[in-house]
């Protein structure tokens, strides 16, 4: 019962934080420097790890698909399978999971330590709402950077699949045939759906991490506990939302 109350309380405070941040949306142009800094942290610094992970996910997907589809004589469809899987599902989910692990944890740690060491209280006494200065630029930055990361993740995943398809002897499909199959069965809507999902997941992850960070109470030990809680809550939210968003966008 207590856990349910905590979950509802957390949900409530995240919604409250979102409403407060939206109230200050008009101040975003004045916070250009903070917005750019967050774009750099969320986008640029996450890119290498997104690239590595998406390349290998694409490679593994092609490898598994090649192994299974060989039995049906359907190897020529590997491109379509990797392309659609990445665009509609794997791309946005992987990028969101990486965002939660890398950026979300850092956001929670930073805000939680600001709360514990009274920097957030200092902001309040200075009549500077934390939602305006600490949350709004992060939410705006993730909205801009998530589609970019998802597109790059898709491209690299597709490329990973193509490399494996060409060089693994049991598959041995030329890139031209791989990409032709990828193009044939994939519509622009598939990519759009994936980008929409990435946008929703990224926004929810950053909101959860900001909310948990700012509601931290106690001493330095609580900072670590908040980070764990934020990452776990983000991962669960991504997978739960994934089902409902996929169903809604079908």
Q: Report the interface residues with another protein, using CB under 8 A.
A: 114, 117-119, 121-122, 124-128, 133
118-121-126 Cα angle (round to 5):
130
Identity of the residue, 68 or 118, whose beta carbon is nearer to another protein in the bound complex: 118
User: Which residues lie below 8 Å from residue 163, measured CB to CB, with a gap of 6+?
Assistant: 59
Report in angstroms how near the CB of residue 33 gets to another protein at its nearest.
Answer: 11
Return the number of the residue (157 or 213) whose C-beta is nearest another protein.
213
Closest CA to 194 of 85, 107, 121: 85
Question: 218-223 long-range contacts, Cβ below 8 Å, gap at least 24?
Answer: 218/116, 219/116, 220/113, 220/116, 222/112, 222/116, 223/109, 223/112, 223/113, 223/116
Cβ proximity to another protein: between 31 and 64 the closer is 31
Q: Which is nearer to another protein, 27 or 76 (CB)?
A: 27
Smallest separation, CB 36 to another protein (Å): 15
Closest contact distance (angstroms) between CB of 126 and another protein is 5
Least distance between another protein and beta carbon 238 (Å): 28
């Amino acid at each position: 019962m207590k856990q349910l109350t905590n979950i509802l309380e957390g949900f409530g405070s995240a919604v409250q934080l979102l409403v407060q941040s939206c109230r200050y949306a008009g101040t975003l142009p004045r916070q250009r420097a903070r917005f750019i800094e967050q774009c750099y942290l969320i986008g640029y610094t996450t890119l290498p790890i997104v690239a590595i992970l998406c390349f290998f996910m694409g490679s593994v997907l092609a490898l598994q698909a090649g192994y299974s589809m060989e039995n049906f004589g359907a190897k020529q469809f590997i491109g379509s399978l990797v392309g659609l899987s990445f665009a509609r599902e794997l791309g946005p989910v992987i990028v969101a999971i990486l965002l939660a692990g890398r950026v979300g944890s850092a956001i929670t740690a930073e805000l939680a330590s600001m709360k514990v060491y009274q920097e957030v209280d200092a902001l309040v006494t200075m009549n500077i709402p934390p939602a305006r200065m600490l949350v709004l630029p992060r939410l705006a930055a993730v909205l801009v950077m998530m589609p970019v990361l998802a597109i790059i993740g898709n491209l690299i995943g597709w490329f990973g699949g193509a490399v494996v398809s060409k060089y693994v002897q049991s598959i041995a499909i030329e890139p031209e045939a791989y990409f032709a199959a990828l193009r044939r069965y994939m519509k622009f809507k598939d990519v759009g759906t994936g980008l929409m999902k990435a946008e929703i997941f990224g926004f929810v992850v950053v909101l959860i991490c900001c909310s948990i960070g700012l509601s931290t109470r106690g001493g330095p030990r609580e900072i670590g506990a908040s980070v764990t809680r934020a990452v776990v809550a983000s991962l669960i939210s991504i997978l739960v939302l994934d089902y409902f968003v996929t169903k809604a966008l079908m």
